[in-house]
Amino acid sequence: DTVRNIEPIRASLIQGNISQDQKWERQARKNILETYALLSSESMLNKNIDLVIWPEAAIPYLTPRRSLQTSFPVDFLKGQSYLIYGAATYATQGRKRNYYNSAFFSAPNGEHLGAYDKKRLVPFGEYVPFEKWIKGIVPAMAGNFSRGDKTFVFHHDKFHFSVIICYEVLFPELSIDMVNNGAEFFVNITNDAWFDVTSGPFQHAHIGRFRAIETRRSFLRAANTGITYWITPSGQIFDATRLFKSTTVIAKIYPSQEKTFYVHFPWLVPFLMLVIVIYGIFKNRQHG
């Protein structure tokens, strides 16, 4: 009942369906941005949309990490909707350039209100474990992303949320940390195009249900090639899209400030599982 008294947030989730082959091609940049802008504009027709969400690395070129404004026109926001989008970014420190997998939150006029850099990177996909030693063996692996250094919660007006980028959805401790820092709902952006037509996109998509249920938070997911959807705090999935289709999803969610038993005591579940395993081993030896 408390949830119903909170002002809802209406979001447009954009599935651009940009192939891996053309994603970083210079000649495709204009078409990619136009695709996202057109889908966003169409999804907002005759609707009061608070938030437009584009997927992970939606911007088809490197973006300065500390940029204050979007590098593309935002007329499609019509001066009323906010935008979340993913971008590969860079920051220069002395002679070194660091690269990040980032998410920007921008105002209706394109002004950046904040950015989050992915903390949990994919091994061998976004960074090289034990790079100091492997670099000499496989020089091609030298270039990789840097980790974000903090858990970030965006706070602006009625928005209090965190962005979970792709693989980060696997880590419950990350979403718990976000809730403890004030996140009232989650935005998950991802690019699962590299999975192709396998069980991967489906398995990856359903992990979000656990994060929603554990924290009792609504979950908005925008995936480049699918599966895009939204989840209620009870784990119900709505409007799941088909793979490899350009489409949009309109979601209506309610922010929550509730802190579940699991958020307060996240260590209890693995502890109980450990106790059960030890008990099982002990009983097995007794019977043996």
Residue where the block lists tokens 């926001």: 77
| Tokens, residue 250 | 């309109």
Q: Which pLDDT score is estimated for 217?
A: 98
User: Which domains does the chain show, CATH number per domain?
Assistant: 3-257 (3.60.110.10)
pLDDT tens-digit map of 225-283: 989 999 999 999 999 999 999 999 999 999 999 999 999 998 888 899 999 999 889 88
- For residues 98 and 136, which has the higher predicted lDDT (pLDDT)? 98
Say whether 92 sits in a helix, a strand or coil.
Answer: strand
Give the chain's mean pLDDT: 91
Residue where the block lists tokens 């004030």: 182
Distance of alpha carbon 148 from alpha carbon 117, whole angstroms: 4
Distance of alpha carbon 184 from alpha carbon 138, whole angstroms: 43
- Over 90: is that where the pLDDT of 107 sits? yes
Question: Please, are residues 230 and 253 in contact by the beta-carbon 8 Å criterion?
Answer: yes
Q: Is 83 exposed, middle or buried (0-12, 13-18, 19+ CB in 10 A)?
A: buried
- Over 70: is that where the pLDDT of 285 sits? yes
**Alpha helices for the chain (secondary structure H):** 29-43, 131-137, 172-180, 200-215, 261-264, 268-287
Tally of CA atoms within 13 A in the half-sphere of 124 that contains its CB: 2
Sequence-separated (6 or more) residues with CB below 8 Å from residue 62:
88, 89, 90, 99
Enumerate the active-site residues.
Answer: 56, 118, 166
pTM score, whole prediction:
0.90
Amino acid identity for residue 165 in this structure: I
- For residues 14 and 269, which has the higher predicted lDDT (pLDDT)? 14
| Tokens, residue 276 | 């059960």
